[in-house]
Structure formats: structure tokens, C-alpha cells
Chain A
């Protein structure tokens, strides 16, 4: 069981585009760091993120009792650690940040994970990992096609309630569809809104598979996107929340999960 004896653990969440590290003593978050992946190896970036986190927390790397690894790229993190599966991390992490959440979806750069949970335990789990259409990657491609950054895309989408339907599910086909829509003189704001709506529909579909129960929470890289949350709220017919430190929910969940085994 989780104790408050001050056990020091780190969670490393190695995703498709970023490495997230959280350091916890018992249930106290001491520090966290998020680094973008680049040309360095995943292991090197993870080491750097871990060292940075230790510095922020003012502790020594040697004080860490146990490291937990999660995320789709966890097997490329060549550090001594215990692998904790993503649904367990998500359930524990959300319990730490927002214990009232019952339905949670983590929207990653390459895949999404929806769970129904209670008291840190996942009760139902669904992944959308086979294709990029239900992931943050879809929005990356839309933004790049419209020559905008993600924040601009979000603001543009929020500037209207009207939308143009983006019919292609496949991210690659959506790219050409959006080019066609731009050339057909459709309003950029409505194209953006349409793209958000399409992604929201797929994420909502994943939520329905685990069963929608309030409180509903979105975490992960895209959870800060107000336009996506707005579209999801419309579909779900209820408020969609996001955790304050939405990026590190999984990493915290991993650090908490490994405390059990570390005793």
C-alpha cells in the first residue's frame, strides 16, 4: 500500500514526442520536467530530464529509491526501472490530481487512452493506438497544413461556432482535404473548427467505449487546447475538465504506483 513515509520515487513517461519526469516523496510532488524529444536518444533525454528534476527538487539522484517507466517509448529508456502500464499510471495519476474524475482520456502525440476509474484503479480501458486519426498528431498535421502553430490553430477555431466538415479520417487524407478546402475559399476559422470537431468526435467515441461518467477529464499534450475541450464538451453534453498539471499525470501516476513495490 501507499504510505507517507517519504519514499522517494521518480516516474518517467516516455511518449511519442516528449519525455515527462515527476519526482515524488510519498504523495508530495517535489519536482517535474518535460522535455521535447529530438535527435538525442530517448535514454539520454530521459537522463537529462531526471537530472533536471533532481536539481529542481534539491535532491541527489542516488536518493531515488525506485524509478518507474511508462509511455509508448518506455522500452527505449535504458535505465534501471520498473515498467508500469499506462492505464495504471493514468488512474493513479488522476487520483492524485483530481480524485473526483471517473472518466479520463489521455490524448497523446500518437495514441489516445481512455479509462473509467475509481480511487486510482482503472475499471475499463480502451486504446486508439492503431492509427494517428485519434491523436494529437492529427492536429499537428492540420496546423502545419494551414501554416499555423497549435496555439494559433486553437484561437482560430475558437473564433467561430460554424464549421466546415472535414470528412477524412486518415490524417494523410485530411491533409489533402484541408488543402482542397483552403483552395475552395472556405473560411480558415471554419476549417479549423471542423478539424477540431472531427478529432473530438473520435475521442468522444473512445470515451463512450469506456462509458461516460462525470467528472470527465482530458489530460496529455492537447488537453490545454481550449477549442478541442469546447468541441468535446458539446458532444459529451457536460463540462470537460483538465488537470492543472495535465502533462505529468502519467509520470506522477507511475511514481506513485512504484512506491508500493518499493517498500
Chain B
């Protein structure tokens, strides 16, 4: 039996196809202007990898911010539930999940079955989201993938950057560049600022071992190592941390298929 989960985020759309043993295919594309079109494309890409057609999939569940825009999904489930479920499948011992996407940041506390016990969310403000890092990349000219490593190699130590508002942080960054500070020092200060916001969100649910980080942010070593240091625990990170939500959605698809006797 094949099952699929589709996670439509604000910046990327992910699809995962699973069978009874595990993941058989996955794909990731930018969401772009239409979430419906992104959902179809990402699904086709995943199906092509295993030479299957959409009719071969027993059940499909959608999640993420564009989850209602997937006409071929049988059901949609919130991304909070899907992330908890997906992480639990990967790392059963995890009780605290930090997921940071393009436009929000969430901390989830879950039980041994991957059920959500408590969560805290920032989707109102760009500080502490992937958007902040994207803009930091734009203003410093440092590619997104290099921000983490360079933020861990300050020359003279981090330069203070506003931690509350991404707009003010940008002003700070531009001012510091003009003042001639080292880019690595500015990046260190900016990543410190973003971690400050993330930690506040995690503290609202209370961090409990083990910790897992998912979403695009999990690829930023600067953020991950700072969060680990602040919370005093190692973070478990999946091979492809951006598809955790889609894995959760596929697991919910399995529940649905089993329940309906397929």
C-alpha cells in the first residue's frame, strides 16, 4: 500500500510517498505563486521517482499553510500535528520539536506516540523565522547556506543586532556594514538575535529531552549549535529535515486508509 503526504509551506512544498516499511520517494520544490500548482508538481515529481501514478496511492493527506489548496488530498491535517507525528516516526524519543519554516517558527511538545501535548507558535512576526535569514542573506550578500558556518567564525566577536524586529535588525546590519565591521561578526550577531527569539518560543512550552529540529532552519549550523548551547541539549536532525511534516501527513494518510478498511 502506498501513502502520500504533501506539505505546502510558505516557501517550499514537499511530498513524501511511503509504503508499509518506510519512505520510498520524496521531493521538494519552491511553492511559488500557486499552492495548487505546486502540490501537483511536487506529487508528480515524487511519483516519477518510483514510476507510479497518482491512482496507485491509496490515500493522500495534505498539511502546511496551503493545505486546503490540494484538490487530490483526501484530508488535511495541521502542520503542528504532522510535525509531531513525523518526528516521532524518525526519532521516537523526541519530546520537544522545534520547526522553523520560511514564515513561522513553532515549538511542539509531544508524547511517546507523537501526539501534540503543547505548542507555541510565532507566525505574526518575521523575527525568528526563515524570512529573517533570507533577508540577512540579501543584505549581506552571503548565500543562505554560508550564513550558519560564517556566523560560527566571528573575527572579533558578535556585533549586537536588534533581536525583536526584523526591520530594525536589517537597519542594524546595514549600519554595521557601513561602519566597516567584519561580515562574520555581523552574521554572528544576527544569528544570536534570531536564536534569542527561537529560545523564547521554546521556553513557552518548556524544553524536555530529547530535542529535534526540523524545517529549513535545521540546515543552518549556526542556529542549531546556538540553540543546543542555550538549551543544553543535542538536537536530533533527520537526513532531510524539511520533509518531516510531509512524513507526518503520510502517516496520517495510513491511519485514514486503515480506518476505511483499505
Residues of A in contact with B (beta carbons under 8 Å apart): 16, 39, 110, 130-133, 137, 141, 168-173, 183
Contacts and interface: CB of A to CB of B under 8 A. Distances in A.
Contact of B125 (A16, A131, A137): A131
B171 A171 contact: no
B135 A131 contact: no
Contact of A172 (B33, B126, B171): B126
B124 interface: yes
Nearest to A172: B126
Interface stretch (B41-49, B162-170, B182-190): B162-170
B178 A172 contact: no
Contacts of A173: 103, 124-126, 131
Nearest to B33: A183
Contacts of A131: 125, 164-165, 167-168
B166 to A, nearest CB: 5
20 contacts: A16-B171, A110-B171, A130-B164, A131-B125, A131-B164, A131-B167, A131-B168, A132-B165, A141-B167, A168-B124, A169-B124, A169-B125, A170-B166, A172-B126, A172-B131, A172-B135, A172-B167, A173-B103, A173-B125, A183-B33
Contacts of A133: 165
**Most chain A beta-carbon neighbours within 10 Å: one of B124, B126, B127:** B126
**Most chain A beta-carbon neighbours within 10 Å: one of B125, B165, B178:** B165
A171 B178 contact: no
B128 to A, nearest CB: 11
Interface string B96-125: 000000010000000000000000000011
Nearest to A131: B165
Contacts of B165: 130-133, 171
B168 A110 contact: yes
Contacts of A132: 165, 167-168
Contacts of B171: 16, 110
A183 B32 CA distance: 13
Interface in B128-184: 131, 135, 164-168, 171, 178
Contacts of A110: 168, 171
A130 B168 CA distance: 9
**Most chain B beta-carbon neighbours within 10 Å: one of A110, A132, A171:** A132
B15 to A, nearest CB: 24
Nearest to A109: B171
A141 B168 CA distance: 13
Nearest to A169: B124
Given A39-B178, A183-B33, A170 B168 contact: no
**Closest 8 pairs (CB-CB, A-B):** A132-B167, A172-B126, A131-B165, A170-B125, A130-B164, A171-B167, A170-B126, A172-B166
Nearest to B125: A170
A16 B127 CA distance: 20
A168 B129 CA distance: 15
Contacts of A141: 167
A235 B178 CA distance: 41
A110 B172 CA distance: 12
A16 B174 CA distance: 13
A131 B132 CA distance: 14
A16 B171 CA distance: 10
Contacts of B178: 39
Contacts of B166: 170-172
Given A131-B164, A171-B126, A183-B33, 15 more contacts: A16-B171, A110-B168, A110-B171, A131-B125, A131-B165, A131-B167, A132-B165, A137-B167, A168-B124, A170-B127, A171-B165, A171-B166, A172-B166, A173-B126, A173-B131
Nearest to B170: A172
Contacts of A169: 124-125
A170 B135 contact: no
A172 B171 CA distance: 13
Contacts of B103: 173
